[in-house]
Structures are given as structure tokens and as C-alpha cells.
Amino acid sequence: MNIVVLIKQVPGSTEIKVDPKTNTLVRDGVEAIVNPFDTYAVEEAVRLKEAQGGTVTVLTMGPPQAAEALKQALSVGADRAILVSDRAFAGADTLATSFTLAAAIRKTGGADIVIAGKQTLDGDTGQVGPEVAMHLKLPFATYVKKIESADGGKLRVERLVEDGYEVLELPTPCVITVVKEINEPRLPSLRGIMAAKKAEIVTWSAADLGEDAKRFGLSGSPTQVVETYVPERVKTGEMITGTVEQQVDRLVEKLKETGVL
Amino acid sequence: MAARITKKCIGCGVCVDVCPYGALELFEGQAIVSGHCTVCGSCAEVCPANAIEIEGAASEGLGAQDKAAWSGVWVFAEREGDGFAPVVRELLTKGRALGDELGEKVTAVLLGSGVTDWAGELIAAGADDVLVVDHLDLADPLIEPYMRTLVELVVNRKPAIMLAGATTLGRSVMPAVAAVLETGLTADCTALAIDSETRLLRQTRPTFGGNLMATIVCPERRPQMATVRPHVFQAGEPDPGRQGTTTVVEMDKAVFTTATTFMTKHVELAEGERLEDADVIIAGGRGMGKPESLTLLNDLAKLFDGAVGASRPPVDEGWLPYVHQVGQTGKTVGPKLYLACGISGAIQHTAGMATSEIVVAINRDADAPIFELADFGLVGDVNEILPALIERLKKERG
């Protein structure tokens, strides 16, 4: 079974502090990590491979330093790593990103299953997985919390919804995005870390993907960010003190004032 | 791969302020780019001197459309049980306001089996027209039939704007529709407005776990698509006297084909327990101390007619199932009242509840970050305060 896992390198913290004097963002010393949801995707792919054989290819689009994220995936059992990196990918929104990743998946020779995390920590859109599926004309399932079975060209999954979960059966090849509940990612072994250090990261440029270059990056992106700002937190919270009875009385009084009680 | 600063840079520092990655700084009166750059493009879009180059021009690689031919605001009428998801009424109210501002019609799109009679409810909630596709194969919300039906409707009728709730269904079907139509989709919007000059839909959404807001437009492609967080917009009162038209659209059966089989659905939360719909959420964290204390949350939730939520530790401990988890790795909620009990307020949790209208925090640690977010903070032991609150509310209700 050939599995391609889509991963992304993201800032290790989404904490954004505002310098009170200059009213500007402070993001000093933020380390880059593998998007946490993608670690579940990698783990699930490695487990499938261990059970059924095959190869796990991890794929990312990003700047050269994103190779570090791929090495982490290699250290926990992925077999092959591909970095898609080019100035031409700059400014990509989810449509251009998914178009690029889909082209790269095709170039790998295709996959029986493509797995991604449910969303990234920075962008939070959750759109790239489904959009990749559409570019590849494959069925997909989002928010997968369990793979019940994967054989005979069918994948049976449990998919988280608001009030419980659905059980779906998809034909392979297909795309799934996974939630945290699906597994407990393993830690890399020393051998894994050593092997990842030595492993070759295949790098593909825009030209390598053989698509209309205008579909990449900014020119392939229908959306534009016109403004960004740090939300004001003007909450003037009230600390309610006193004995437990006094606290409860005051809280009930306040909740009545605000209309929620 | 990085943004490139050209000689046009005037050293104003606007880009330094907006860069979400801290990848830009001013050096000798010019902006410089560090290796942290992910080429997200935020800087180029705000640069007043057009000094930052990111190759290409937005959407130029996508086909040209006659934008004048696209008009109207569409709302995807997601079903839930025997009715509509609450977000549908919120979207119709907001869609109505946007439609009025543009002087264009508001259309609700209803997909399902045996649902034609439901259209009146959507007109009462603000729709001028309801497009219904009523077919047995649309009974279960499967991606491919829903995606193809919506694409077919959009291509033939050309709406300028298409809105859906940021629910599991909306967040799955809408990206599929947007990818096929090669248009833009903004996820999880918390504000929508019409730009008075360009008449474009300004779509504002939280990123970085709610720590940064971004306003996004889709200038060249149609429809302009957005998923919108439930509870962000207020639903107006339905007007049963409103007039509107219902159009039942027939589709070629091929539209409904799919290789995916809907096997079954397991309901773990009864109606009224769903966090996304709840007006009140009573949430517990590590500070609850022991699984037995969870009955306090349940009792209080009953009194408020609300749902029970949790931060990650109680779920990891197995005290309650994952469907209750709020936060970055769980659900995103925005109730009228969020009562955080024994929750410290780490960013991983607050990312999922920061848009709540009123936050009440009860925590033993007076320095817990949750108090920064709270409208009302009570320092104390949840196992003492909650029973007293429950007693007080019970007494009040007789």
C-alpha cells in the first residue's frame, strides 16, 4: 500500500503578543514544529504500512528549512520524504497550495491513501485536504478518528461529527484527514533519528511538477489578505471575591444583569 | 523562497507589524527578511510602497470571469435532525443584510430527501428564493453528491456570494466545491461586510488560534465563498408573512453517484448536548480534581439548559469522551456563556472558546491565564463553589 502523508511546518506557538508601546506584534524565538495534527497522520500511515506493507512518503510544500519537518517524519517510520520548494509557490492560498500538493502526489506515482491532519495550527482552515482530493478527483473523508479496516480496495473509517461519529466506506485511492483521537504518535527511536539524519530529502521545484506555472503561488490564488490585526482584548473582567456564598450571590446577580440567566 | 524587498522600500515598518512569523525587521531604514519567512504574502498586501515582491499577480493564473454576470447571496441550508442547523438562520439574517446592501437577492439552497416542504421556514428566516434539490440519494450528507449538486447549481445560476456554516459538513463540502469551481474560500469567518467601493465581500477570520485576525477578499473569482462560525451572527425573528419563491430543481441522476457508502451513524450526544449549538457551556478542566466532580458540571449544565465541555486533561484521563473537548485539538465553540471550571486557560484551550460572549472562570490559582479572558472571575475551589451555585440556582427555581 502506498501512502502519502501531507505535512506542514508551523510556528511552535500561536501565541502572539502585542508590544504595548508600539502596538506591534512580537514573535521572538518561536521554534518551528511539525503541525501537531500531521503527527497523527504520519503515525496512522506508519501503522498501516506496518500492518499491510507498502511505503510511506511524506510530502511538504515550504521553504528549504521545512526539510527539518520531513526528517522528523522519517525518524518515526516514514520511508521517503519530498520537499516541494520554489519561489513560484510564494503567496499560495489553499487553492494554489492544494493544486501544488496534488501535482506532487501525481509525480510520486500516486497513492492508495493520502493522509493529512484535520487542519494546521497556523492557518486553521482545514481546506487543503479536501481540495487536494478534488484536484486528484478522489473521494475523501474529513475528521477521521479511526480506520476500522483497510483491505480489498476499501477503507472503512469513523468520522467525527458534532454529536457523535459516522461510519463511512470509501474506495481506494482516497484522501482522509485525521483528528487527534485516532492514535498516540510514537517517539522517534535513536536508530530512527540517525537514519533520518542521513536520509536524502528529494526536492522538487515548480518546473519539476510540470504544470501550468500560473496555477502556483500568488497567481494561482483567488483570495488575498487585505488586512491583519491583533484582536483587541478590551475585557475589563471583574474579580468576584468574598466567601463562597458571597461569590455565588454576586455571580448570579451579574449573570442576571447580562441576561444569560 | 522568501518575500523579496526591493529598493522601493520606504522603511515604514508596516510589514514588520503584520508579519505573523516575525520574519521581518527594520535594518538601517529598510525592511529585511529572515529565514522565518513562509511567504504567506501578508506583507506584500499591506506594503504602501509596493516594495515587496512575491512573484505573480493574485489569481491571474485562473480563468477570467465576467463578474457582472454573477449576483445574489446564497446560503447553504444545512439540515440537522428534522430541521435546520441553528447557523442557517444566523446566515440568512446576515445574508439578508448583505443582500440588501448590494441590492441583490438572497437564496437558500436546500438539499435532502423529502425536504421540499421545509422551504417556507427559510423564506420566513430571510430568503427571497429557495432552491430545492429533493432526491433520495441526498438523504445522507455524502460529499460527492452534495459537492456535485452545489457545483451544478452555482455554474448554472451564478451567485456572487455563497455562505455556509463552519460545521463539519460545511468545512468538508465547501472546500470541495471551491476547489472544483477554482474559487476562493475563507474558513471560519467571524465577520462579513461589503466593501462600499469595490462591492467585494470582506471576510474576516481568526488565525493562529484566534491571536491574529485576517480580512480576506476574493476579487477575481466567483462565487466568493465563506464558511461562518456558528453563534457569531444573531439570528433575527422569523417572519411567517414574508413572501418568497421556491424552485425545485431536477438533476441528472449522474450528479448523485458516489463510490462512498454511508454505513451508519453513532450518536453520542443527545440533542441539546451538542457543544456547537449550546447557548451555555459548562466546561471542566484539570482543576476538577476527580472524575466524580463531573456530576457537578452535568447538574449545572441541566440548570442552564446547556452542554458540558472540557479542556484536554479530563479527556486524556478518560473522565469523559473526546466529543466534549474544546480547544485547538477539539471543538471550537462560541456560546453566550462559557463557564470555565478548574481550567487554567492555556492557549490550546482558549483557541476553542475565545469568541464566547461571556466567560466566567473559577480557578484556585489567582494567576491562571483564564482570568485574563474572563468577564467574571472567582478565585476558589470548584468543588466548593459549584455545589453552592447549584444550590442557589435550584432554590431560585423553586
Nearest-angstrom CA–CA distance, A138 and A118: 17
CB contact under 8 A, B265 and A233: no
The domains of chain A, with CATH numbers, are: 2-220 (3.40.50.620)
Per-residue pLDDT for A27 more than 70? Answer: no
- Which residues from B are below 8 Å from A239, CB to CB? 371, 377-379
Mean per-residue pLDDT of chain A: 91
Mean per-residue pLDDT of chain B: 92
Q: Which residue has the cell 487542519?
A: A119
Question: Mean pLDDT over residues A139-159, rounded?
Answer: 97
Structural domain includes residue B274 = no
The minimal CB distance from A139 to the residues B187, B221, B260 is found for B260
The minimal CB distance from B143 to the residues A15, A139, A217 is found for A139
Q: Which domain, by its residues, includes B24?
A: 4-53
Structural domain includes residue B286 = yes
Structural domain includes residue B62 = no
Residues B360 and B295 in one domain: yes
- Which residues from B are below 8 Å from A129, CB to CB? 175
Among B241, B256, B271, residue at a domain's last position: B256
Structural domain includes residue B263 = no
Using 50, 70 and 90 to split pLDDT, how confident is the model at A21? Answer: low
At residue A28, the pLDDT reads 55
| β partners of residue B110 | B132
Q: Are B199 and B184 in contact (CB under 8 A)?
A: no
- pLDDT digit string (tens) for B289-343? 999 999 999 999 999 999 999 999 999 899 998 889 999 888 889 899 999 999 9
Strand (E) or helix (H) holding B373: helix B370-373
- Which residues from A are below 8 Å from B336, CB to CB? 260
Count of the separate structural domains present in chain B: 3
Q: Does B271 touch chain A (CB under 8 A)?
A: yes
Q: Residue B337's domain is classified under what CATH number? A: 3.40.50.1220
What is the predicted ipTM? 0.92
- pLDDT digit string (tens) for B343-390? 999 888 998 898 899 999 999 999 999 999 999 999 999 999 999 999
Q: Does B50 touch chain A (CB under 8 A)?
A: no
Between A107-111, A180-184, B13-17, the lowest mean confidence (pLDDT) is in: B13-17
Residues B219 and B288 in one domain: no
Nearest to residue A83, comparing CAs of A46, A58, A107? Answer: A58
The length of chain A in residues reads 261
Q: Are A7 and A97 in contact (CB under 8 A)?
A: no
Closest approach of A42 to chain B, Cα-based (Å): 16
Q: Residue B29's domain is classified under what CATH number? A: 3.30.70.20
- Which residues from B are below 8 Å from A248, CB to CB? 385, 388-389, 392
Structural domain includes residue B335 = yes
At residue A233, the pLDDT reads 64
Closest approach of A57 to chain B, Cα-based (Å): 22
Among B223, B256, B289, residue at a domain's last position: B256
Nearest-angstrom CA–CA distance, B51 and B301: 55
Nearest-angstrom CA–CA distance, B32 and B230: 40
| β partners of residue A160 | A165
- Which residues from A are below 8 Å from B58, CB to CB? 91, 218-219, 221-224
Nearest to residue B308, comparing CAs of B344, B345, B333? Answer: B333
Residues B190 and B233 in one domain: yes
Residues B44 and B72 in one domain: no
CB contact under 8 A, B260 and A169: yes
Q: Residue B116's domain is classified under what CATH number? A: 3.40.50.620
Higher pLDDT, B48 or A158: A158
State yes or no: cis peptide before A173, omega within 30 of 0.
yes
pLDDT more than 90, % of chain B: 70
CB contact under 8 A, B378 and A131: no
Question: Mean pLDDT over residues B218-226, rounded?
Answer: 96
Nearest-angstrom CA–CA distance, B150 and B133: 9
Q: Could you give the C-alpha distances from B37 to A182, A228, B22, in angstroms and in order?
A: 32, 16, 8
CB atoms within 10 A of CB B57: 12
Residues B124 and B92 in one domain: yes
A13 to chain B: closest CA residue: B208
Question: Mean pLDDT over residues B212-224, rounded?
Answer: 93
Residues B8 and B123 in one domain: no
Residues B115 and B158 in one domain: yes
- pLDDT digit string (tens) for B70-80? 999 999 999 99
Q: Are B274 and B308 in contact (CB under 8 A)?
A: no
Using 50, 70 and 90 to split pLDDT, how confident is the model at B107? Answer: very high
Using 50, 70 and 90 to split pLDDT, how confident is the model at B243? Answer: very high
A244 to chain B: closest CA residue: B385
Residues B211 and B306 in one domain: no
Residues 6+ apart with CB under 8 A from B316: none
Alpha-carbon torsion angle B43, B44, B49, B51, nearest 10: 100
Nearest-angstrom CA–CA distance, B13 and B24: 9
Closest approach of A40 to chain B, Cα-based (Å): 11
Structural domain includes residue B262 = no
What DSSP line would sit under chain A, residue for residue?
A: -EEEEE--EEES----EEETTTTEEE-TTPPEEE-HHHHHHHHHHHHHHHHH--EEEEEEES-GGGHHHHHHHHHTT--EEEEE--GGGTT--HHHHHHHHHHHHHHTT--SEEEEESS-TTT----HHHHHHHHTT--EEEEEEEEEEEETTEEEEEEEETTEEEEEEEESSEEEEE-GGG--PPPPPHHHHHHHHHPPPEEE-HHHHTS-GGGSTGGG---EEEEEEPPP-----EEE-SSHHHHHHHHHHHHHHHT--
At residue B1, the pLDDT reads 44
Nearest-angstrom CA–CA distance, B187 and B207: 10
- Which residues from B are below 8 Å from A164, CB to CB? 265-269, 323
**A164-171: strand order across its sheet:** A202-204, A80-84, A55-61, A2-6, A113-117, A174-178, A140-151, A154-161, A164-171, B261-267
CB contact under 8 A, A167 and B276: no
Nearest to residue A131, comparing CAs of A95, A100, A90? Answer: A95
Q: Does A256 touch chain B (CB under 8 A)?
A: no
CB contact under 8 A, A227 and B214: yes
Q: Could you give the C-alpha distances from A187 to A5, A10, A33, A183, B222, in angstroms and in order?
A: 18, 19, 14, 13, 45
User: Residue B186 half-sphere exposure, CB side, CA atoms within 13 Å?
Assistant: 33
- Which residues from B are below 8 Å from A89, CB to CB? 1, 39
Per-residue pLDDT for A6 more than 70? Answer: yes
The minimal CB distance from A222 to the residues B187, B218, B263 is found for B218
CB contact under 8 A, A230 and B212: yes
State whether the Cα torsion B130-B94-B148-A143 is positive or negative: negative
Nearest to residue B4, comparing CAs of B49, B53, B44, B43? Answer: B53
Q: Let me know the angle formed at the C-alpha of B60 by B54 and B66, rounded to the nearest 5 degrees.
A: 150
Interface test with B, best of A144, A159, A163, A249 (most B CBs within 10 A): A163
Residues B74 and B44 in one domain: no
At residue A103, the pLDDT reads 98
Residues 77-96 of A with CB under 8 A from B: 85-95
Residues B296 and B206 in one domain: no
- pLDDT digit string (tens) for B180-205? 999 999 999 999 999 999 999 999 99
Nearest to residue A11, comparing CAs of A126, A118, A124? Answer: A124
At residue A23, the pLDDT reads 47
Question: Does residue B317 sit in helix, strand or coil?
Answer: coil
Structural domain includes residue B141 = yes
Cell matching residue B36: 522565518
- pLDDT digit string (tens) for B130-178? 999 999 999 999 999 999 999 999 999 999 999 999 999 999 999 999 9
Closest approach of A39 to chain B, Cα-based (Å): 12
Burial of B396 (0-12, 13-18, 19+ CB in 10 A): exposed
Nearest-angstrom CA–CA distance, A143 and B222: 28
DSSP symbol at B325: B
Nearest-angstrom CA–CA distance, A6 and A104: 11
Q: Does B253 touch chain A (CB under 8 A)?
A: no
Residues B242 and B318 in one domain: no
Residues 76-115 of B with CB under 8 A from A: none
Q: Does B276 touch chain A (CB under 8 A)?
A: yes
CB contact under 8 A, A142 and B172: yes
At residue B209, the pLDDT reads 72
At residue B260, the pLDDT reads 95
Using 50, 70 and 90 to split pLDDT, how confident is the model at A53? Answer: very high
Closest approach of B124 to chain A, Cα-based (Å): 26
Q: Which of A21-30, B8-17, B155-164 has the highest mean pLDDT?
A: B155-164
Q: Could you give the C-alpha distances from A43 to A56, A160, A174, B312, B375, in angstroms and in order?
A: 10, 19, 18, 20, 41
Structural domain includes residue B221 = yes
Categorise residue B342: left if φ over 0, alpha if ψ from -120 to 50, beta otherwise.
left
The minimal CB distance from B184 to the residues A98, A218, A222 is found for A222
Question: Mean pLDDT over residues B36-46, rounded?
Answer: 76
Q: Are A228 and B42 in contact (CB under 8 A)?
A: yes
Residues B161 and B224 in one domain: yes
Residues 164-203 of A with CB under 8 A from B: 164-171, 179-181
- pLDDT digit string (tens) for A192-218? 999 999 999 999 999 999 999 999 998
Q: Are B52 and B44 in contact (CB under 8 A)?
A: yes
Residues 33-62 of A with CB under 8 A from B: 36-37, 62
At residue B57, the pLDDT reads 60
The minimal CB distance from A222 to the residues B59, B323, B371 is found for B59
Residues 19-38 of B with CB under 8 A from A: 19-22, 35-38
Higher pLDDT, B19 or A13: B19
Between A119-128, A132-141, B283-292, B378-387, the lowest mean confidence (pLDDT) is in: A119-128
B179 to chain A: closest CA residue: A131
Q: Does B337 touch chain A (CB under 8 A)?
A: yes
The minimal CB distance from B388 to the residues A163, A218, A244 is found for A244
